[in-house]
Amino acid sequence: MLELHSHTTFSDGSLTPKQRVDRAVSKCVKALAITDHDTISGWHEARTAAQPHGLEIVPGIELSTVYNDRSMHILGFYPDPQKLRVPLYERIQGRHRRAQKMVDNLRALGYPIELPPMPGNMAPGRPHVANALLTAGHVASHQEAFQRFIGDHGPAYVPYEKFTAQEGIALLRSCGAVPVWAHPYLFRGGIVEDILPELVTYGLMGVEVYHPQHSISEEQVLEELCSRYDLLMTGGSDYHGPQPKLKPGDIDLNGLKLPLDLLDIVKQAANSLKNIG
């Protein structure tokens, strides 16, 4: 089984890379992508933990970009880590500045919080702010933190620093990574059918068709679009760690049961980029 979208404590996941690997092994996953937001720092620990189990680690990333003023996530598979080092440093610094701005906004609103110390190679995100709000007793749940304060229209929300989807796709390709539009139906800045052709002109090579928050009919539309634009298909659970209470319909790790063949196509695409570069 294949799992091409997951997070660790190097971004906003709650499991360390080793814990994440152990859980994948227990669920009989054969290939696991580590796709933290804007950082690749989790790969090394994941590889070391996976090696004795024969679990294949797919090196990946989920880049935070902006399209139509809204957040758009672009997955990249098999980037050259050396080429990504400097550009990612800037993205992660931007995430640290953004997290601090949200803290400042909350303080001005009368809700002071303290973020835990976060090392420089770790990418802070809104879930960390939600956690701090919970710890400070200002909210009773993560959901409430997003609803009252840091959701896309919330009073303390701060968008990503400007980095367009076009720039993100170009960056990934220049690093030999296969760019894939993550969870298109979670995008709030336009209609999937209208946006996709434009992303293709930027160099997009694939679409994350299978995602827990996509309906079956949405996945069918995406399958059709992938065949129309000759794009590869990926999927994953976007797993951020165990949830205290899984709601009916929530998909736990590897609930999607994706076939390994999808990975071969991603590998071929990555090789084609490296041959050009």
Q: Which parts of this chain interact with Fe ion (CB under 5 A)?
A: 62, 73, 182, 238
The type of residue at 121 is N
Q: What are phi and psi of 65, to 5 degrees?
A: -130, 175
**Interactions with ligand AMP, residue window 14-53 (CB under 6 A):** 37
Q: Which CB atom, from 12 or from 45, has the smaller least distance to Zn ion?
A: 12
b/e map of 254-270 (b: 16 or more CB within 10 Å)? Answer: bebebeeebbeebeebb
Q: Which CB atom, from 12 or from 208, has the smaller least distance to Zn ion?
A: 12
Q: Which CB atom, from 20 or from 73, has the smaller least distance to Fe ion?
A: 73
CA–CA distances in Å: residue 272 to residues 40, 177, 178, 266: 22, 10, 10, 10
Q: How far is the CB of 165 from ligand AMP (least distance, A)?
A: 14
Q: How far is the CB of 7 from Fe ion (least distance, A)?
A: 6
Q: Are 143 and 159 in contact (CB under 8 A)?
A: no
Q: Which residue in the set 79, 87, 125, 176 belongs to the binding site for ligand AMP (CB under 6 A)?
A: 125
Strands 70-77 and 56-67: antiparallel
x/- string (CB under 5 A) for Zn ion, residues 9-48? ---x------------------------------------
The stretch near Zn ion (CB under 5 A) out of 5-13, 113-121, 148-156, 260-268 is 5-13
Q: Which does 64 bind (CB under 5 to 8 A by kind): Zn ion, ligand AMP, Fe ion, none?
A: ligand AMP
**Residue at token pair 């695409």:** 269
Q: Which CB atom, from 45 or from 238, has the smaller least distance to Zn ion?
A: 238
Q: How far is the CB of 71 from Fe ion (least distance, A)?
A: 8
Q: How far is the CB of 185 from ligand AMP (least distance, A)?
A: 14
H helices of the chain, where? 17-26, 43-50, 81-108, 126-135, 142-145, 165-174, 192-202, 216-229, 261-276
**Interactions with ligand AMP, residue window 138-167 (CB under 6 A):** 142-143, 146, 151
Instruction: Find the residue with minimal CB distance to ligand AMP.
Output: 125
Which of 31, 72, 67, 103 is CA-nearest to residue 181?
A: 72
Strands across the sheet with 56-67, in order? Answer: 2-3, 31-34, 56-67, 70-77, 178-181, 206-210, 232-235
Q: What is the DSSP letter of 116?
A: P
The stretch near ligand AMP (CB under 6 A) out of 86-94, 121-129, 211-219, 262-270 is 121-129
Q: Does 240 bind ligand AMP (CB under 6 A)?
A: yes
The type of residue at 11 is S
Q: Which CB atom, from 135 or from 268, has the smaller least distance to ligand AMP?
A: 135
Beta bridge partners of 75: 62, 180
Q: Name the site residues for ligand AMP (rule: CB under 6 A).
A: 12, 37, 64, 71, 125-127, 142-143, 146, 151, 240
